[in-house]
Amino acid sequence: MENMNFFAVDLGATSGRTILGTIGGGKIELTELTRFPNNIVETGGHFYWDIYALYLEIIKGLKKVALERIPIHSIGIDTWGVDFVMLGKDGAILRNPYCYRDPHTTGAPEEYFTHIPRERVYDITGIQIMNFNSLFQLATLRRNRCSALEAADKILFMPDALSYMLTGEMVTEYTIASTSQILNPRTKRFEKELLDVVGVKEEQFGRFVFPGEKIGVLSEEVQKMTGLGAVPVIAVAGHDTASAVAAVPARNERFAYLSSGTWSLMGIEVKDAIINKESYERNFTNEGGVEGTTRFLKNICGMWLLERCRKEWEATGNYSYTELIDAALAVPAFRSVINPDAPCFANPSSMVEAIRRYCELTGQPRPETYGELTRCIFDSLALRYRQVFGYMQAMAPFSIERLHVIGGGSRNNLLNQFTCNAVGVPVTAGPSEGTALGNIMLQAKAFGLVGTMQEMRDMIASSIELAEFEPKDAAEWEAAYAKYLAHYREDI
């Protein structure tokens, strides 16, 4: 069989890429076509995504494959979760979508719970309560009498909005919808009881599709712009984490995953949603996966902490990760530790000062140098992973034997070793391009190149290089975890 080429659009919260995936001889090979920033636009007291800029970047990538005469068999789009675009009756986008980091949803869950109790909302959805979930964004827009929501005929999540711009077809892909806190994982439909509170109807969303279904083909407008023909657009796992988890090169079901990037997402893959008193109290989430699976996981603030610090350090030097890791290794371990998920780290004006203030308020030394700050972040992330891993072990329907680290953070060998030491089970790191691989493999599955998710995972495992880590220094990390718990705060 000849090689087949698939075009993946992978959009993260800070940057995006278009990637060519070539499958042949039982192997998959990735080629990055374009890379671009995904800038948050701050104006009028709000934070927005520039949907038109993202669309133009996709067009640029499609033009590139047309110019290089690369035949592509299909296109798939994945993005971060929860955010959405509102369209008018004429199909036009009413305004750029709000960014989930916009502070307008602060306190929104508590206001919503005056209509439907918190426990009831979680019991219906099984979704981790976070103020930026789509449900609370909609409630905020309704409460603030948002003119775009009042005029909205359709509401499309980010990957679905971009596929609409390419094809003219309006869909709601299951995995991205599952991040919204509107979907019932038992029925796999939006819950009317929740929507009624915000005055939105299920019909305002696009037709439901699941990973592997065809959305449509490139519109005539896009064909003329790019020089391509009627290329199919496939609904992959539209939520980037769902695509990444589909690419975990696991040998059996007894694994946990850590999708490590701007956000860290730690979870397991199960057949049925886990919704009980403990999952509610620990604020775990149940999101849709591939082949009817559920991703039982928890969001953890990830490399956002270090990226924000690096941004501040640009004035004195553009420090590479290699330099920061060397500096972190040169300072004492566990000098200061933080709860990476404390509210003060959500979107501070200065991440450096937010970390220092947390340490001061918990009676720890202030990390002053960039080495001390980096070490504080790495130590604290690994210890937070240990905490969440412990919660998950207690709720999992099987014994967790291995942790798979995927995403950009899988290349950070220092943090991988720290994580392995902290959680106490072997760690396999890779692929770093998990999201793109999952996106492309789901397109390949739609064309019959692979039959099951395990076949996808086996092909990925045979195509990439993985790094293995074994736990070390157990006593030292046990003592560090005790210190972390002693300084753990959720109210800063």
Average pLDDT rounded to a whole number, residues 121-150: 97
Q: Is 434 exposed, middle or buried (0-12, 13-18, 19+ CB in 10 A)?
A: buried
Q: Is residue 442 part of a domain?
A: no
Q: What is the pLDDT of residues 438-457, one digit of tens each?
A: 999 999 999 999 999 999 99
Check if the beta carbon of residue 402 is closer than 8 Å to that of residue 426. yes
Q: Are residues 139 and 201 in the same domain?
A: yes
Q: Is residue 406 part of a domain?
A: yes
Choosing from 209, 239, 269, the residue where a domain stops is 239
Q: Is residue 436 part of a domain?
A: no
Average pLDDT rounded to a whole number, residues 468-487: 98
Supply φ then ψ for residue 405, to 5 degrees. -100, 125
Task: Give me the pLDDT at residue 1, please.
Answer: 58
Q: What is the pLDDT of residues 98-116, one digit of tens each?
A: 999 999 999 999 999 999 9
Q: Is residue 303 part of a domain?
A: yes
pTM for this entry: 0.90
Residue 90 a catalytic site member? no
Choosing from 239, 272, 299, the residue where a domain stops is 239
Q: What is the pLDDT of residues 308-318, one digit of tens each?
A: 999 999 988 88
Q: How many structural domains comprise the chain?
A: 2
3-state secondary structure of 122: helix
3-state secondary structure of 233: strand
Task: Give me the pLDDT at residue 411, please.
Answer: 94
3-state secondary structure of 98: strand
Q: Are residues 101 and 210 in the same domain?
A: yes
Q: Are residues 146 and 257 in the same domain?
A: no
Q: Are residues 307 and 195 in the same domain?
A: no
Q: Are residues 44 and 164 in the same domain?
A: yes
Q: Are residues 159 and 138 in the same domain?
A: yes
Q: Is residue 489 part of a domain?
A: yes
Q: Could you tell me the residue range of the domain that residue 329 belongs to?
A: 248-430+451-492
Calculate the CA dihedral of residues 283, 289, 293, 299 and round it to 10 degrees.
-20
Q: What is the pLDDT of residues 157-181, one digit of tens each?
A: 999 999 999 999 999 999 999 999 9
Q: Is residue 443 part of a domain?
A: no
Q: Are residues 85 and 187 in the same domain?
A: yes
CA dist 379 and 422 (Å) reads: 9
Q: Are residues 112 and 202 in the same domain?
A: yes
Q: Are residues 217 and 339 in the same domain?
A: no
Q: Are residues 68 and 201 in the same domain?
A: yes
Q: Are residues 289 and 144 in the same domain?
A: no
Task: Give me the pLDDT at residue 13, please.
Answer: 87
Q: Is residue 435 part of a domain?
A: no
Q: Is residue 438 part of a domain?
A: no
Residue 247 pLDDT > 80, yes or no?
A: yes
| Beta strand 207-209 pairing with 171-173 | parallel
CATH number at residue 349: 3.30.420.40
Average pLDDT rounded to a whole number, residues 393-410: 96
Choosing from 193, 213, 239, the residue where a domain stops is 239
Q: Are residues 38 and 75 in the same domain?
A: yes
- CA separation, residue 68 to residues 341, 379, 423, 487 (Å): 45, 46, 47, 56
| Beta strand 294-301 pairing with 402-406 | unpaired
Site of tokens 């409630």: 139
The catalytic residue among 10, 83, 240, 379 is 240
